[in-house]
Homo-oligomer: A and B are copies of this chain.
Amino acid sequence: MGKVYLVGAGPGAADLLTLRAARLLERADIVFHDALVQPDTLALAKAARFVDVGKRYGKVSPEQRFINRALVEAARAHEVVVRLKGGDPMMFGRAQEEIDALAEAGIECEVVPGVTAALAAAATLRVSLTKRGVSRNVAFVTARRAPGQPENVWLDAASSADTVALYMAGWQSAEIAAALIGAGRPATTPAVLVESASLPGERRVKTTLGGLLRGQPLRGQDQRPELDFKGPVLLAIGEVFARANAQDLRFEEPARATG
């Protein structure tokens, strides 16, 4: 009986993998990975079989139950099974379903933490998420909803923290800004969008909550080309970002009608 390692692949760049993750990849018999895990990272696992269990490019995503079952079967056939998840496995990674399924099947499991996207974004923006006198805490939030979940379950956490990192926020930045302004956050609050943090295609743009509203109309159509993202986007909000190392976007004109 083998062992399954749930391993954080970091934000993208292969050199932001941990030493432990790199060694496990070298030893892996089989690697299950998300779509966001980069080819350079997978190249560290020369001997292994690879199974892509992520969704992207319009392909249908395997159901979580299928992934759970595949991990259990792999552990019965192989010694070292690596399940690579973008960023850190325990942050927006649906790791608990896999951990629980492995425990139920009596299969040993170990989690190897990784660098989460918000910290890679902070590094490239050269902005500390906490700063004496400005920010004493950070909320890590997603505005994505599971089916049947009420709207804005994220808003309480996001409006109560000094600094907010919103994961998977590229197509929702105007909605998010509108909700935060509605909850009392000033429209002048700095907001930065970081696309593909740590990767060659990285982009960093800085605006304000009000700017997000003007730049990306609420229906998600006709957004400014500067806000047309291809890679994963982290949206970071808070006073600490006033001097972020990012392209300054000003959307000064009034909001356009969205039809």
Contact = CB atoms under 8 A, between A and B. Distances in A.
Chain copies in complex: 2
Contacts of A22: 19
Interface in A200-217: none
A159 B114 CA distance: 26
A139 B157 contact: yes
Interface string A135-176: 011111110001001000110111111100000000000000
A14 B142 CA distance: 31
> Chain A, interface size: which category?
35 or more
Contact of A90 (B90, B127, B160, B161): B127
A141 B136 contact: yes
Interface stretch (A115-123, A186-194, A227-235, A251-259): A115-123
A89 interface: yes
A48 interface: no
B126 A120 contact: no
A11 B20 CA distance: 13
A89 B126 CA distance: 10
Contact of A123 (B92, B111, B122, B138): B111
Interface in A90-104: 90-97, 99
Nearest to A120: B113
A128 interface: yes
Contacts of A157: 136-137, 139, 157, 160-162
B18 A10 contact: yes
A128 B18 contact: no
Interface of A: 8, 10-11, 13-20, 22-23, 88-97, 99, 109-116, 119-120, 122-124, 126-133, 136-142, 146, 149, 153-154, 156-162, 240
Complex A-B, nearest 10 residue pairs according to Cβ-Cβ distance, in ascending order? A160-B160, A90-B122, A111-B123, A15-B20, A96-B128, A137-B157, A113-B119, A157-B161, A137-B141, A113-B123
